[in-house]
Amino acid sequence: MKWLNTKFFLFVIIAISGLIYSAQVSATYNICLVKEISNDGVTYYDANTQADAVPISDSAFFRFTVSKCPTDPGGLLDIVLTDPSLDLTVTSLEDLPHSHTEYPDRIYSLEVTDYCSGHQGYKENVASVTGTIVTGLETRTDTDNAWAYCEDIPQGGDGCTPGYWKQPHHFDSWPQPPYPYTSFETVFGVDINVNSKKDDGNDDVSFIEALNAKGGKINMAARHAAAAYLNAASGGVSYDLSTQAVIDIFQSALNSENYDTVIQTLVEFNEQGCPLN
Protein backbone atom coordinates (compact mmCIF):
# COMPACT_ATOMS: atom_id res chain seq x y z
CA MET A 1 0.00 0.00 0.00
CA LYS A 2 2.85 2.32 0.89
CA TRP A 3 4.46 1.51 -2.46
CA LEU A 4 1.25 2.43 -4.28
CA ASN A 5 0.99 5.74 -2.43
CA THR A 6 4.59 6.55 -3.33
CA LYS A 7 3.97 5.68 -6.98
CA PHE A 8 0.83 7.82 -7.06
CA PHE A 9 2.69 10.70 -5.43
CA LEU A 10 5.45 10.50 -8.06
CA PHE A 11 2.83 10.39 -10.82
CA VAL A 12 1.21 13.57 -9.49
CA ILE A 13 4.57 15.34 -9.31
CA ILE A 14 5.41 14.34 -12.89
CA ALA A 15 1.99 15.45 -14.14
CA ILE A 16 2.25 18.81 -12.40
CA SER A 17 5.78 19.29 -13.71
CA GLY A 18 4.54 18.54 -17.21
CA LEU A 19 1.78 21.12 -16.92
CA ILE A 20 4.21 23.71 -15.61
CA TYR A 21 6.63 22.92 -18.45
CA SER A 22 3.86 23.16 -21.03
CA ALA A 23 2.74 26.49 -19.62
CA GLN A 24 6.30 27.78 -19.72
CA VAL A 25 6.80 26.58 -23.28
CA SER A 26 3.50 28.05 -24.46
CA ALA A 27 4.53 31.39 -23.04
CA THR A 28 7.96 31.53 -24.67
CA TYR A 29 7.49 30.80 -28.36
CA ASN A 30 5.37 32.06 -31.21
CA ILE A 31 4.73 31.39 -34.88
CA CYS A 32 6.46 33.71 -37.35
CA LEU A 33 5.69 34.49 -40.99
CA VAL A 34 7.93 36.06 -43.62
CA LYS A 35 6.22 36.93 -46.89
CA GLU A 36 8.46 37.74 -49.86
CA ILE A 37 7.74 38.85 -53.42
CA SER A 38 9.65 38.41 -56.68
CA ASN A 39 9.21 39.42 -60.31
CA ASP A 40 11.23 36.50 -61.71
CA GLY A 41 10.76 33.64 -59.23
CA VAL A 42 14.49 33.63 -58.47
CA THR A 43 15.30 36.67 -56.34
CA TYR A 44 12.83 37.39 -53.55
CA TYR A 45 12.43 40.55 -51.48
CA ASP A 46 10.90 41.13 -48.07
CA ALA A 47 9.17 44.29 -49.30
CA ASN A 48 7.46 45.50 -46.13
CA THR A 49 7.31 49.19 -47.06
CA GLN A 50 6.22 51.12 -50.12
CA ALA A 51 9.80 52.29 -50.56
CA ASP A 52 10.82 48.63 -50.99
CA ALA A 53 8.08 47.87 -53.55
CA VAL A 54 9.14 45.36 -56.21
CA PRO A 55 8.39 46.35 -59.84
CA ILE A 56 5.93 43.90 -61.40
CA SER A 57 4.87 43.99 -65.04
CA ASP A 58 3.17 40.60 -65.38
CA SER A 59 3.39 37.66 -63.00
CA ALA A 60 4.24 38.02 -59.32
CA PHE A 61 5.88 35.26 -57.32
CA PHE A 62 5.31 34.93 -53.59
CA ARG A 63 7.20 32.89 -51.00
CA PHE A 64 5.82 32.34 -47.50
CA THR A 65 8.16 31.05 -44.79
CA VAL A 66 6.59 29.83 -41.55
CA SER A 67 8.78 29.16 -38.53
CA LYS A 68 8.74 28.89 -34.77
CA CYS A 69 10.25 31.84 -32.98
CA PRO A 70 12.29 31.84 -30.96
CA THR A 71 13.51 28.30 -31.55
CA ASP A 72 12.54 27.02 -28.11
CA PRO A 73 11.22 23.49 -27.56
CA GLY A 74 7.51 23.20 -28.21
CA GLY A 75 5.45 22.28 -31.24
CA LEU A 76 2.89 24.06 -33.40
CA LEU A 77 0.09 22.09 -34.99
CA ASP A 78 -2.73 22.68 -37.50
CA ILE A 79 -0.93 25.48 -39.35
CA VAL A 80 -3.15 27.59 -41.61
CA LEU A 81 -1.75 30.16 -44.06
CA THR A 82 -4.14 32.70 -45.61
CA ASP A 83 -3.90 35.67 -47.96
CA PRO A 84 -7.38 37.00 -48.83
CA SER A 85 -6.22 39.30 -51.62
CA LEU A 86 -4.63 36.31 -53.36
CA ASP A 87 -7.64 34.10 -52.57
CA LEU A 88 -5.20 31.80 -50.77
CA THR A 89 -5.86 29.33 -47.95
CA VAL A 90 -3.25 26.65 -47.25
CA THR A 91 -3.83 23.89 -44.69
CA SER A 92 -1.29 21.39 -46.02
CA LEU A 93 1.81 22.73 -44.26
CA GLU A 94 3.46 20.21 -41.94
CA ASP A 95 3.41 20.77 -38.20
CA LEU A 96 6.40 22.43 -36.57
CA PRO A 97 7.78 19.67 -34.34
CA HIS A 98 8.17 19.63 -30.58
CA SER A 99 11.95 19.26 -30.55
CA HIS A 100 15.04 20.40 -28.71
CA THR A 101 17.28 20.10 -31.77
CA GLU A 102 15.22 20.48 -34.97
CA TYR A 103 13.69 23.78 -36.00
CA PRO A 104 12.64 23.42 -39.65
CA ASP A 105 10.85 26.12 -41.64
CA ARG A 106 7.72 25.46 -43.66
CA ILE A 107 7.82 27.14 -47.07
CA TYR A 108 4.98 27.68 -49.52
CA SER A 109 5.49 29.27 -52.95
CA LEU A 110 2.92 30.70 -55.34
CA GLU A 111 2.91 32.31 -58.78
CA VAL A 112 0.12 34.77 -59.54
CA THR A 113 -0.25 35.46 -63.26
CA ASP A 114 -1.55 38.85 -64.40
CA TYR A 115 -1.07 40.14 -60.86
CA CYS A 116 -1.09 43.74 -62.08
CA SER A 117 -3.78 43.37 -64.72
CA GLY A 118 -5.90 46.52 -64.74
CA HIS A 119 -3.80 48.13 -62.02
CA GLN A 120 -1.00 50.67 -62.23
CA GLY A 121 0.92 51.93 -59.23
CA TYR A 122 1.55 50.64 -55.73
CA LYS A 123 -0.18 47.50 -54.52
CA GLU A 124 0.01 45.83 -51.11
CA ASN A 125 -1.37 42.61 -49.72
CA VAL A 126 -1.14 40.99 -46.31
CA ALA A 127 -0.88 37.32 -45.36
CA SER A 128 -1.44 35.69 -41.98
CA VAL A 129 -0.60 32.36 -40.37
CA THR A 130 -2.00 30.61 -37.32
CA GLY A 131 -0.88 27.53 -35.42
CA THR A 132 -2.01 25.70 -32.30
CA ILE A 133 0.54 24.94 -29.57
CA VAL A 134 1.00 21.31 -28.57
CA THR A 135 -1.15 21.63 -25.46
CA GLY A 136 -4.08 22.57 -27.69
CA LEU A 137 -4.98 25.37 -25.31
CA GLU A 138 -3.69 28.36 -27.26
CA THR A 139 -3.11 29.55 -30.81
CA ARG A 140 -0.37 31.73 -32.19
CA THR A 141 -0.78 34.19 -35.09
CA ASP A 142 1.51 36.35 -37.19
CA THR A 143 1.10 38.55 -40.28
CA ASP A 144 3.40 39.96 -42.94
CA ASN A 145 2.86 42.15 -45.99
CA ALA A 146 4.46 42.66 -49.39
CA TRP A 147 4.48 45.74 -51.62
CA ALA A 148 4.60 45.72 -55.42
CA TYR A 149 4.75 48.51 -57.95
CA CYS A 150 2.60 47.55 -60.92
CA GLU A 151 4.05 48.71 -64.22
CA ASP A 152 1.18 47.30 -66.25
CA ILE A 153 -0.34 49.94 -68.53
CA PRO A 154 -4.11 50.18 -68.07
CA GLN A 155 -6.47 49.97 -71.03
CA GLY A 156 -7.56 53.58 -70.59
CA GLY A 157 -10.91 55.20 -71.11
CA ASP A 158 -11.62 56.37 -67.53
CA GLY A 159 -10.92 59.66 -65.82
CA CYS A 160 -12.21 61.54 -62.76
CA THR A 161 -12.17 65.33 -62.69
CA PRO A 162 -10.52 67.63 -60.13
CA GLY A 163 -14.04 68.37 -58.92
CA TYR A 164 -14.48 64.71 -58.01
CA TRP A 165 -11.18 64.24 -56.20
CA LYS A 166 -11.41 67.42 -54.11
CA GLN A 167 -14.70 66.48 -52.43
CA PRO A 168 -14.16 65.34 -48.80
CA HIS A 169 -16.70 62.53 -49.20
CA HIS A 170 -14.52 61.13 -51.99
CA PHE A 171 -11.31 61.10 -49.94
CA ASP A 172 -11.88 57.39 -49.29
CA SER A 173 -11.38 56.82 -53.04
CA TRP A 174 -7.87 58.30 -52.99
CA PRO A 175 -5.10 55.72 -53.61
CA GLN A 176 -3.39 56.82 -50.35
CA PRO A 177 -0.69 57.79 -50.92
CA PRO A 178 -0.96 60.51 -51.92
CA TYR A 179 -3.25 61.96 -49.26
CA PRO A 180 -5.13 65.28 -49.51
CA TYR A 181 -2.36 67.07 -47.61
CA THR A 182 0.57 65.34 -49.32
CA SER A 183 2.99 67.92 -50.71
CA PHE A 184 2.57 68.46 -54.46
CA GLU A 185 6.32 69.07 -54.69
CA THR A 186 7.10 65.73 -53.00
CA VAL A 187 5.30 63.86 -55.78
CA PHE A 188 5.98 66.06 -58.83
CA GLY A 189 9.47 67.21 -57.87
CA VAL A 190 8.73 70.89 -58.53
CA ASP A 191 7.83 73.80 -56.28
CA ILE A 192 4.79 75.76 -57.46
CA ASN A 193 2.54 78.55 -56.25
CA VAL A 194 -1.17 78.47 -56.94
CA ASN A 195 -4.18 80.63 -56.20
CA SER A 196 -6.17 78.22 -54.06
CA LYS A 197 -9.31 78.75 -52.03
CA LYS A 198 -8.29 75.76 -49.91
CA ASP A 199 -5.27 77.03 -47.96
CA ASP A 200 -4.08 74.37 -45.51
CA GLY A 201 -1.70 76.77 -43.77
CA ASN A 202 1.51 75.07 -44.96
CA ASP A 203 4.19 76.69 -47.10
CA ASP A 204 4.17 73.83 -49.62
CA VAL A 205 1.22 73.43 -51.97
CA SER A 206 -0.67 70.27 -51.07
CA PHE A 207 -2.68 68.04 -53.38
CA ILE A 208 -5.97 69.39 -52.05
CA GLU A 209 -4.77 72.97 -52.63
CA ALA A 210 -3.75 72.13 -56.19
CA LEU A 211 -7.16 70.55 -56.85
CA ASN A 212 -8.82 73.74 -55.60
CA ALA A 213 -6.56 76.12 -57.55
CA LYS A 214 -8.54 78.92 -59.22
CA GLY A 215 -7.78 80.37 -62.63
CA GLY A 216 -5.91 79.32 -65.75
CA LYS A 217 -2.31 78.63 -66.76
CA ILE A 218 -0.32 77.16 -63.84
CA ASN A 219 -3.45 76.94 -61.68
CA MET A 220 -5.45 74.96 -64.21
CA ALA A 221 -2.44 72.81 -65.07
CA ALA A 222 -1.81 72.04 -61.38
CA ARG A 223 -5.38 71.03 -60.58
CA HIS A 224 -5.62 68.75 -63.61
CA ALA A 225 -2.14 67.32 -62.98
CA ALA A 226 -3.15 66.46 -59.41
CA ALA A 227 -6.35 64.82 -60.66
CA ALA A 228 -4.45 62.99 -63.40
CA TYR A 229 -1.96 61.59 -60.88
CA LEU A 230 -4.78 60.33 -58.65
CA ASN A 231 -6.47 58.75 -61.67
CA ALA A 232 -3.24 57.04 -62.72
CA ALA A 233 -2.51 55.76 -59.20
CA SER A 234 -6.04 54.54 -58.52
CA GLY A 235 -6.73 50.85 -58.84
CA GLY A 236 -10.34 51.62 -59.73
CA VAL A 237 -9.65 53.95 -62.66
CA SER A 238 -8.40 52.64 -66.01
CA TYR A 239 -6.47 55.76 -66.96
CA ASP A 240 -4.59 56.41 -70.19
CA LEU A 241 -1.39 57.63 -68.52
CA SER A 242 0.96 56.22 -65.90
CA THR A 243 1.86 58.26 -62.82
CA GLN A 244 5.34 58.87 -64.22
CA ALA A 245 3.90 60.07 -67.53
CA VAL A 246 1.73 62.59 -65.65
CA ILE A 247 4.76 63.86 -63.74
CA ASP A 248 6.84 64.15 -66.92
CA ILE A 249 4.09 66.05 -68.77
CA PHE A 250 3.63 68.55 -65.96
CA GLN A 251 7.37 69.12 -65.46
CA SER A 252 7.80 69.73 -69.18
CA ALA A 253 4.97 72.26 -69.20
CA LEU A 254 6.39 74.03 -66.15
CA ASN A 255 9.89 74.25 -67.62
CA SER A 256 8.62 75.62 -70.94
CA GLU A 257 5.80 77.67 -69.39
CA ASN A 258 3.62 76.30 -72.17
CA TYR A 259 0.57 75.16 -70.26
CA ASP A 260 -1.94 75.00 -73.09
CA THR A 261 -0.88 71.58 -74.38
CA VAL A 262 -0.75 69.90 -70.97
CA ILE A 263 -4.09 71.42 -70.01
CA GLN A 264 -5.72 70.21 -73.22
CA THR A 265 -4.28 66.69 -72.80
CA LEU A 266 -5.12 66.25 -69.13
CA VAL A 267 -8.57 67.84 -69.36
CA GLU A 268 -9.44 65.41 -72.15
CA PHE A 269 -8.28 62.39 -70.14
CA ASN A 270 -9.75 63.59 -66.83
CA GLU A 271 -13.20 64.11 -68.32
CA GLN A 272 -13.62 60.68 -69.93
CA GLY A 273 -15.98 59.50 -67.21
CA CYS A 274 -15.41 58.51 -63.60
CA PRO A 275 -16.10 54.86 -62.64
CA LEU A 276 -15.81 55.55 -58.89
CA ASN A 277 -18.72 56.19 -56.54
Q: Indicate if the pLDDT at residue 34 is higher than 60.
A: yes
Strand pairing report for 139-150 and 54-56 = parallel
Could you tell me if residue 168 is left (phi over 0), alpha (psi between -120 and 50 degrees) or otherwise beta?
A: alpha
| pLDDT for position 26 | 43
| pLDDT for position 114 | 84
> pLDDT tens digits, residue range 197-217?
655 555 689 999 999 999 989
> pLDDT tens digits, residue range 63-95?
999 998 876 667 889 999 999 999 999 999 999
Selected residue with higher pLDDT from 29 and 184? 184
Instruction: Record the pTM.
Output: 0.50
Opening angle at CA 140, ends 137 and 141, nearest 5: 145
The average pLDDT across 29-55 equals 92
| pLDDT for position 76 | 87
Q: Indicate if the pLDDT at residue 2 is higher than 90.
A: no
The average pLDDT across 139-149 equals 94
Cβ atoms of 95 and 79 closer than 8 Å: yes
- Within the chain, strands assigned E span 30-38, 54-56, 60-69, 76-83, 88-90, 106-112, 121-133, 139-150
- Domains of the chain and any CATH numbers: 30-150 (2.60.40), 162-271 (no CATH)
Alpha-helical (H) ranges within 162-258 are: 162-165, 184-188, 207-211, 218-233, 243-256
